[in-house]
Structure 1
Amino acid sequence: MKYYTSIGPNPRVVTMFMAEKGIELPTVTVDLRGGENRRAPYNVAVNPAGQTPALELDDGSVLTEITAICEYLDERYPEPTLIGTTAEERAATRMWVRRIDLKICEPLTNGFRFAEGLPLFEPRMRCLPEAAAGLKACAEDGIAWLDPLIAGRDFIAGDRLTLADLMLFAFLDFGASVGQPIDPRFTNILRWFDAINARPSAGASKY
């Protein structure tokens, strides 16, 4: 297998996932700022959507999208699992990943793309600068919703580290670097964030 990575929170999720599981793969770094992901051969031979990360399998086929890549790797390398060992655990992980993605990660990322990231992204995709402030507010609403739900527990899905933790951490850490820091009033999120940030996978994946 071969792993295509770059700067940005999406590939960082997969990099942290692999670090937590002790997976080491041949890696190709794609120059996102230089637009390598938006031109051939990458957007022809690897990912026609022009995004990272991507995982080239042994048969030459390619997986994209962080949840698909991580679930595949969890099945190929089942110990330690970051998705779940039972149907109930896997369902809970997927539920929390979906909630975090829709309520926090997506609006946070697009809030950046349509504001601070506009010079980079405007030539590459449809941008809505007028929506930036509202999207950032939506991301903060999502954080406010999650904060009381994780009071008294170490991880998003309960008592086990999952993909949901790695996804939320990577995006919140990215947000803090582009003008969307975690509000100090979200004490449960900050406690959780500091604990994940202390894990070796967070340092190993820092771009």
Structure 2
Amino acid sequence: MKLYDSQGPNPQIVRTFAAEKGVALDKVPVDILGGENRGQAFRAKNPMGQLPALELDDGTILTEVVAICEYLEELHPHPALIGATAEERAATRMWQRRFDLGVLEPYMFGFRATAGRAFFAPRMTLLSESAGHEMLGQMAEKLKHFDRLLAGRQFVCGDRFTLADITLGCFLLFGKSMGAALPPGLDWVPGWLDRLATRPSFAA
């Protein structure tokens, strides 16, 4: 299998997920800064022009982070990073959905319209800069709410390290690398994020 790879949190999620499972992927770098992902050759593989993309041995292309991780989980069920039972899988997917809607989407819309505006403006339609700041404010409010709900847990799903940890962790660590501070008033998230940062898979 080939993983079309680049900078950014989405490819990092798949790399971390695969590393936690001990799955080796043949990585093919794609130059997003130079716009390679918007070129004809890459769009022939993924018409959305987004990274990552997983090419299977028969040439099938899988895109979308969760779909790729679900596929790898089915091929390599141990360790279970989504869940070993129906209840575990439902809990992981519940938190994954909460993070997608409450944190990741407003964060990316907000980041692109504000700090990332110079890079993204020539590539896509953006929110206004003021709307971007509002999205970041909504993300901060939701993250504080989740912070309260997760108090006392080792990981998002209790004692289980899951895709939900990987997803939120990769986005927040990416933000940190770009100079974005965590919202003030968080109690659980900073320590949890420090624990994740020490896992070798997050350097994959």
- Fold conserved between structures, TM > 0.5: yes
Provide the residue aligned with 1:56 in structure 2.
55
Whole-angstrom CA distance in 2 between matches of 1:17 and 1:120: 28
Residue correspondence of structure 1 range 47-126 to structure 2 within 5 A: 47-126=46-125
Provide the residue aligned with 2:11 in structure 1.
11
State the identity %: 51
Cα deviation digits, residues 124-175 of structure 1 (max 9, x gap): 1111123110011011011101111111111112210000000001101112
Provide the residue aligned with 2:40 in structure 1.
40
**TM-score, normalising length from structure 2?**
0.96
Cα deviation digits, residues 64-114 of structure 1 (max 9, x gap): 000000000011111111010111111111111000011001111111111
- Secondary structure (helix, strand or coil) at the match of 2:40 reads coil
**TM-score, normalising length from structure 1?**
0.95
Q: Partner letter of residue 108 of structure 2?
A: T
When the two chains are superposed, the root-mean-square deviation of aligned CA atoms in Å is 1.1
Q: Structure 1 residues 9-18 or 174-183, which shifts more?
A: 174-183
Alpha-carbon distance, 1:60 to partner:
0.7
Contact 1:54 1:62 (C-alpha < 8 Å) held by counterparts: yes
Structure 2 gap ranges (5+) = none
Confirm or deny that 1:192 pairs with 2:192: yes
Whole-angstrom CA distance in 1 between matches of 2:54 and 2:79: 20
Structure 1 gap ranges (5+) = none
Alpha-carbon distance, 1:185 to partner:
2.0
Provide the residue aligned with 1:30 in structure 2.
30
Whole-angstrom CA distance in 2 between matches of 1:69 and 1:172: 21
Whole-angstrom CA distance in 1 between matches of 2:132 and 2:58: 41
Q: Partner letter of residue 52 of structure 1?
A: L
- Secondary structure (helix, strand or coil) at the match of 1:24 reads coil
Q: Partner letter of residue 33 of structure 1?
A: L
Residues paired across the two proteins, number? 203
Whole-angstrom CA distance in 2 between matches of 1:9 and 1:48: 20
